[in-house]
Structure 1
Amino acid sequence: MSEILIGLIDDHPVLLGGIQALLETDEDFKVVATGGSAEEAVKLARTHKPSVLVMDVNMPGNVIKAFTDISQMNEGKTRVLAFTAVAGVDYAIAALEAGAAGYLLKGSTIAELKQAIRTVDQGETFISPAFANKVLTGLRTEKLRRAARENCRFSVREEQVLRLLMTGLTNREIAEALSISDKTVKHYMTIIMQKMNVRSRIEVVISAEKLGLAGNRREPHMAMN
């Protein structure tokens, strides 16, 4: 097996030195450089071209952007392994979607760290077993939500009606708020239901909440007809 070149990025020097010492007891691993920030991670990847960059999530700089930048350089040959104490599923999803090839918690053993490094070096994805199912479910859910949001493109007026509906207003109250007729509100409601493939106001509300549609909408412009 060929030697795996490793870069280590962590803003805690003592921890950084300890990890390096433990990894270098294995003849398959060679730590080529270390750093302590997102900016240093990008420079290290560009200069030393490690096979795997083991990098903390919670440290100075734009870490998520660094994941993306590093995953796109060196013809994609440098793989990023997020190695962190942050156990939140949202953080893991953000890291993986930004380009990280793995997400390992710092409570893991050195054997698990070595396994994770070997796994991502081989072009595969590694996620800490402790919460892998939650992360994978979250990734699938977010992918479905994103696709649904793309399919449910609303006009400005339709967004206004949807947002007011989500606050619990009736058709008449929505009509008054937007200075339009009840009939026009019903027309927009029909279009919204068709786009969301539902048949009732309640289903519109439930679907919008599940898909996170309402929370990302613009504030209504009341003067527009």
Structure 2
Amino acid sequence: MDRIRVALADDHPIVLAGIRSLLTADPGIELVGEATSGTDALPMIHSAGPDVAVVDVSMPGLNGLELTERVSGECPSTRVLVLTVHEDAAYVRPLLEAGARGYLLKRSAADDLLRAVHAVAAGGIYLDPSIASHALDSSTTTGRADADGGGEALSPRETETLRLIAQGFSNKEIARRIDVSVKSVETYKARAAEKLGLKTRAEIIRYAAARGWLDAFTLR
């Protein structure tokens, strides 16, 4: 089985060394690059092409949010896992909007970093257990009503497409999984989002979490 290729970006050398030690202890992970600023991290990620990029939020040059946006747009095969000291759930939504697949607190890294890396690499979403419930509490009223059964019913294809989108799969991956064209996936996604009034990826993720679709990817 191929190892998960991981790149790191953090401007604190001690933290970087600690993360490196945790990752290299797992035989299923290969460390392929490191950077101490967002500015240096972007070309490193371009060059190394990791499966997962573990990035800090507060870095010189490009910050974690800007880096996540750039990586998501320019390196779609690389999934971003944010590793941060920020426990305020308000940080989560913009990072998910930017394309992050995971959000882990540094104080949880010793216990949960490897689990988060494996979950994100497998195509899932990982939210730190200590902030996930608070982040999900900010669900829109529409999302909560729909999760309780309100709103126009989705077709089985629309439901499956939305579930896989929330779990982090690309349109191409979804098309392969449900054996339809990429264009069909885009149509199912648009119809489902319109029916439920979901306008952003973060809203889709919160809707999915409220229905239990992410239970295999978060809080475990």
Q: TM-score normalised to the size of structure 1? A: 0.59
**How big is the shift at 1:141?**
2.6
SS at match of 1:50: coil
Q: Can you list the C-alpha shifts for 1:158-199, whole angstroms capped at 9, x where unaligned?
A: xxxxxxxxxxxxxxxxxxxxxxxxxxxxxxxxxxxxxxxxxx
- 1:51 and 2:48 aligned: no
**How big is the shift at 1:22?**
2.1
Conservation of the 8 A alpha-carbon contact between 1:4 and 1:30: yes
| Alignment partners' CA distance in 2, 1:119 and 1:66 | 21
| Alignment partners' CA distance in 1, 2:98 and 2:142 | 14
| Alignment partners' CA distance in 2, 1:103 and 1:120 | 10
Conservation of the 8 A alpha-carbon contact between 1:38 and 1:59: yes
SS at match of 1:117: helix
2:160 equivalent in structure 1: none
Conservation of the 8 A alpha-carbon contact between 2:12 and 2:36: yes
Conservation of the 8 A alpha-carbon contact between 2:82 and 2:103: yes
2:81 equivalent in structure 1: 81
| Alignment partners' CA distance in 2, 1:6 and 1:46 | 12
- CA-based RMSD: 1.7
Conservation of the 8 A alpha-carbon contact between 1:58 and 1:86: no
**How big is the shift at 1:49?**
0.5
Conservation of the 8 A alpha-carbon contact between 2:38 and 2:59: yes
- 1:132 and 2:132 aligned: yes
- 1:122 and 2:122 aligned: yes
SS at match of 1:58: coil
Percent of paired sites with the same residue: 35
**How big is the shift at 1:31?**
0.8
1:186 equivalent in structure 2: none
1:18 equivalent in structure 2: 18
**How big is the shift at 1:2?**
1.9
| Alignment partners' CA distance in 2, 1:110 and 1:94 | 25
Q: Which amino acid is the alignment partner of residue 141 of structure 1?
A: T
Unpaired stretches in structure 2, ≥5 consecutive residues: 144-220
Judged with a 3 Å threshold, the aligned counterparts in structure 2 of structure 1 residues 37 and 137 are, in CA distance, closer, same or farther, namely: same
Q: TM-score normalised to the size of structure 2? A: 0.61
**How big is the shift at 1:142?**
9.3
SS at match of 2:7: strand
Judged with a 3 Å threshold, the aligned counterparts in structure 2 of structure 1 residues 84 and 142 are, in CA distance, closer, same or farther, namely: farther
Judged with a 3 Å threshold, the aligned counterparts in structure 2 of structure 1 residues 143 and 29 are, in CA distance, closer, same or farther, namely: farther
Judged with a 3 Å threshold, the aligned counterparts in structure 2 of structure 1 residues 107 and 142 are, in CA distance, closer, same or farther, namely: farther
2:70 equivalent in structure 1: 69
Q: Can you list the C-alpha shifts for 1:64-94, whole angstroms capped at 9, x where unaligned?
A: 12101101223x2100000010111111111
Judged with a 3 Å threshold, the aligned counterparts in structure 2 of structure 1 residues 26 and 105 are, in CA distance, closer, same or farther, namely: same
Higher relative contact order (CA 8 A, sep 6+): 2
Conservation of the 8 A alpha-carbon contact between 1:6 and 1:32: yes
| Alignment partners' CA distance in 2, 1:72 and 1:30 | 24
| Number of positions where the alignment pairs a residue of Structure 1 with one of Structure 2 | 142
Q: Can you list the C-alpha shifts for 1:11-34, whole angstroms capped at 9, x where unaligned?
A: 011210121122101110111110
**How big is the shift at 1:46?**
0.6
Q: Which amino acid is the alignment partner of residue 13 of structure 2?
A: P
Judged with a 3 Å threshold, the aligned counterparts in structure 2 of structure 1 residues 2 and 142 are, in CA distance, closer, same or farther, namely: farther
Moved segments of 4+, more than 4 Å? none
